[in-house]
A and B are shown apart, each in its own frame.
Chain A
């Protein structure tokens, strides 16, 4: 009789994950209490505490250059997984603040809403540290399923339900494709651990084996769905627009971060010998993504759709880090993801603040003259747009600089030129927003002061009846903090660059 041995559990390495899962249960249970205080204050506070604890525990585990396999090598605790997870936690905290007064929170019930969010973040954590095909898939589903629900939390709104359903259907197709691909890879190599797959390729199975290549292609497709890489991006604008805006903000940043982490880890750790093949294919995808995303964003009028398409284009830029698959590429990708977080959060926070009070919702017309009416909202939005466009003195400039360096360093000169051309096209819509904010018509509907008019406005907009003008200090705070961070990291990028440099040491067998 064979003796079963349970895998050794490294409590330190798994501490952030335990914190997240434990926190989500506590949040769910706490929300059973019916007091107003619990719902309004305690539940969000517990969520923030959970995420804060996860950040702390991640920093505790932070050891550059050291990969610690845990649970028999199923998960890896290294700077890549920790760094990307921290990005997701920060996005989560920002989302809590952005959600506080949202309609979604009231219709879904605070406890469920935040529990789902924490569950999704736990999925991101698992995904970013996956070292095994099965774990990868579990992580992806744990990430996705709560998000499908979160997209549909504004239950009385058609678009929200539609977004949830659309995301569910397309996301499932993506997951199915990924699973199919993983099965092919397993079939070809007979292994599920990334390292075992890597050693099987070239040994048991040749690097040009059709079954293996099919598997890799399908896996790449599945992950491309999650990262919204063209031509698998078609769900992005509709879902981003329809979902409650805080959920959109969360999805735009955190999902993408985790998906890119696993993208890189899977391809670099499991398929290093096939790199010439997949990097060329991915480069073609990146090229298409950059052009499609930027070109499609130009005619949009809804700011959420603009940000969605811009997210598609930015995914094309970030993909460069995977394509070059060098240490610098990994560092550049990590840095850009962190920068992408602050820029997008700043922009989405302003969108949330505006759409709650403006009858035009997130249409660009509700941002016209914002520079005059409310500079504190206008500045973060402007900074975010200039940052996304890659203007200097913003973190976006340094991020783009880093990515270009990675691309040229890896021998992908023409991809660097493509990133630049994409950035030029992107000016067409980023500057459109800036122009609306600062240069628009000078007759501004300055927000009426009396409460009755505010409520009427809010009703016309169909948004939270609680939202009243500037009575959203938490949203304003997120916008201002994130906007300031874009500038600060643009001028003093070294702390973030150091962290990104640490992340770069994570993958041992990365090329050169």
Chain B
């Protein structure tokens, strides 16, 4: 059986379409089934994937010949685990969405599945134009998901989110077109395929301005320090299932773009801007940590901690060191896996403290009443703060190795960021679970209710498994050819 990546990408959309046309009461079931089938197919692909053999399961067709755009998909050691993570996380996302009531459920689930299709498309794309297309397409479902089913100030939040991210994406569109056109040799055929583009080269000056266009898109999406203005409103307003998709997976598109597009295609510029990007990464780490520490709103604690975590990932990428880049990719997976249970727990907590509006100050003292929940949250918390024995520990260690290898000072400062993570995460855990019982806390049952437990537990199990044996992932992870722009530059 050959693996068709198109199937992986468009299965969710198909399920979404079915959900759209069938009666409303079945919408959730079809969407969930679609997520499961996609995951199953992705797992088959995972087992058939052979490490160290470069790009596999390649689909390559001319899509728009006149513009040099190929419909080219492929999986290699870089995107394999991101695809798996996306397909895996979409299962709990659809499950917890299915147990909630939504106004206009058919449209909701259609958008939710369209989001999965778009995200998988970005990860699978092996053509720059296709990459940009899927990258921008992700905004359509998220715009509607946040705007139509969000909480307070949803329209304002979604507008801000989309304008921020699309401003970046459109700049990237210009950058992508420029990259394709300017890299075309005289008499050569224009092409946006990564394979063709990596054979061609651009003068360093041109690379620099194109780099800035791409960086704008990817840093907004991440989000990184100066471009994170959309974070608070969006994290407050987004419904929990959608927020998991946004925080765990959507935020990885930007950093993935750095590894997939920027490092290999703009090697001179990557070296040129290395320190600037590492500086942004460091500031993001410190700034995100400080804000995460001072938030009362639990969603924002996790939201700002994401800024810090993605700062680490950016740091690893721009260490331009194979270890650092590999660690960054591994950390993308880890972060996605820990964010999901954190938000699921927040959703449970919000149910137990209904008057609290998911604020920390209204919580507390849940530990004795809900021991299972506490244990699960503790594991997620410890993983987030990169306790030795967690996947995050391995990831951050690799990142720091990379940073120390190339820019010692940045590595040193970033190490402080590791300590900061424990400060804000432990504060979050303590305030939510220990201390005096909050005024509005209602905790009648010891166990979290069925669907919550059923979604959180597998996630925690995977986190533990990765912590015990990160080699499962690392053996098939390979950011190799992408990771060494400095060598590429040296070769010229």
User: Chain A interface (Cβ within 8 Å of chain B)?
Assistant: 331, 372, 386, 390-393, 397-398, 400-402, 404-405, 408-409, 413, 416-417, 419-420, 423-424, 427-428, 431, 434-435, 438-439, 442, 493-494, 497-498, 500-501
Contacts and interface: CB of A to CB of B under 8 A. Distances in A.
29 contacts: A331-B66, A391-B140, A392-B134, A393-B133, A397-B133, A398-B64, A398-B67, A400-B173, A401-B67, A402-B67, A404-B178, A405-B181, A408-B174, A408-B181, A408-B182, A413-B209, A416-B177, A416-B178, A417-B174, A420-B173, A423-B170, A435-B155, A435-B159, A438-B147, A439-B155, A494-B65, A494-B66, A500-B66, A501-B66
Interface stretch (B161-169, B292-300, B355-363): B161-169
Contacts of A423: 170
Nearest to A416: B174
A372 to B, nearest CB: 8
A436 B162 CA distance: 15
A90 B148 CA distance: 36
Given A420-B170, A435-B159, A439-B155, A405 B177 contact: yes
Contact of B178 (A408, A427, A428, A501): A408
A240 to B, nearest CB: 25
A386 B140 CA distance: 9
B158 interface: yes
Nearest to B114: A393
B379 interface: no
Contacts of A435: 147, 155, 158-159
A386 B166 CA distance: 12
Interface of B: 64-67, 103-104, 129, 132-134, 136-137, 139-140, 143-144, 147-148, 154-155, 158-159, 162-163, 166-167, 170-171, 173-174, 177-178, 180-182, 190, 209, 213
Contacts of A397: 133, 136
Nearest to A442: B103
B171 to A, nearest CB: 6
User: Chain B: interface secondary structure?
Assistant: helix
A392 B177 contact: no
Contacts of B139: 391
Contact of B64 (A392, A417, A497): A497
Contacts of A404: 173-174, 177-178
A423 B166 CA distance: 9
Nearest 5 CB-CB pairs, A to B? A392-B133, A439-B147, A404-B177, A424-B167, A420-B174
A404 B178 CA distance: 8
A393 B67 CA distance: 15
Contacts of A501: 66
Given A423-B170, A427-B163, A431-B163, A438 B144 contact: yes
Contacts of A419: 174
B147 A408 contact: no
B160 to A, nearest CB: 11
Nearest to A403: B177
A469 B432 CA distance: 54
Nearest to A439: B147
A414 to B, nearest CB: 10
Contacts of A438: 144, 147-148
Given A438-B147, A439-B154, A428 B140 contact: no
Given A392-B132, A404-B174, 14 more contacts: A331-B66, A392-B133, A393-B133, A401-B67, A405-B181, A408-B177, A419-B174, A420-B170, A424-B163, A434-B143, A435-B159, A494-B66, A497-B66, A497-B67
A392 B173 CA distance: 11
Nearest to A493: B64
B215 to A, nearest CB: 14
A436 B169 CA distance: 24
Contacts of B181: 405, 408-409
A93 to B, nearest CB: 27
A188 B178 CA distance: 40
Contacts of B143: 431, 434
A398 B67 CA distance: 9
Contacts of A420: 170-171, 173-174
B240 to A, nearest CB: 19
A408 B181 CA distance: 7
B70 to A, nearest CB: 13
A131 B226 CA distance: 55
The CB with the most chain B CB atoms within 10 A, among A372, A416, A435, A438, is that of A435
Contacts of A417: 171, 174, 213
A435 to B, nearest CB: 5
Contacts of A497: 64, 66-67
B136 A392 contact: yes
A427 B163 CA distance: 7
Nearest to A409: B181
Contact of B163 (A331, A409, A428): A428
Contacts of B133: 392-393, 397
Contacts of A427: 162-163, 166-167
Contact of B137 (A392, A409, A498): A392
A386 to B, nearest CB: 7
Nearest to A419: B174
A390 B159 contact: no
Contacts of B159: 431, 435
Contacts of A500: 66
A59 to B, nearest CB: 20
A405 B170 contact: no
Contacts of B170: 390, 420, 423-424
Contacts of A390: 170, 173
A419 to B, nearest CB: 8
Contacts of B163: 424, 427-428, 431
Contacts of B154: 439
Nearest to A375: B107
Contact of A401 (B137, B147, B173, B213): B173
Contacts of B140: 386, 391, 393
B172 to A, nearest CB: 9
Nearest to B64: A493
A401 B209 CA distance: 18
Contact of A405 (B136, B167, B171, B180): B180
B431 to A, nearest CB: 34
Contacts of B136: 391-392, 397
A497 B213 CA distance: 27
Contacts of A400: 173
B349 to A, nearest CB: 28
A386 B177 CA distance: 20
A404 B137 CA distance: 19
Contacts of B66: 331, 494, 497-498, 500-501
A386 B137 CA distance: 11
Contacts of B178: 404, 408, 413, 416
Contacts of B134: 392
B262 to A, nearest CB: 18
A54 B186 CA distance: 41
The CB with the most chain A CB atoms within 10 A, among B139, B174, B190, B213, is that of B174
Contacts of A398: 64, 67
Contacts of A434: 143
Contacts of A442: 103
B436 to A, nearest CB: 40
Nearest to A418: B174
A494 B166 CA distance: 26
A391 B132 CA distance: 11
A372 B65 CA distance: 39
A316 to B, nearest CB: 15
A393 B155 CA distance: 23
B137 A391 contact: yes
The CB with the most chain B CB atoms within 10 A, among A393, A428, A434, A439, is that of A439
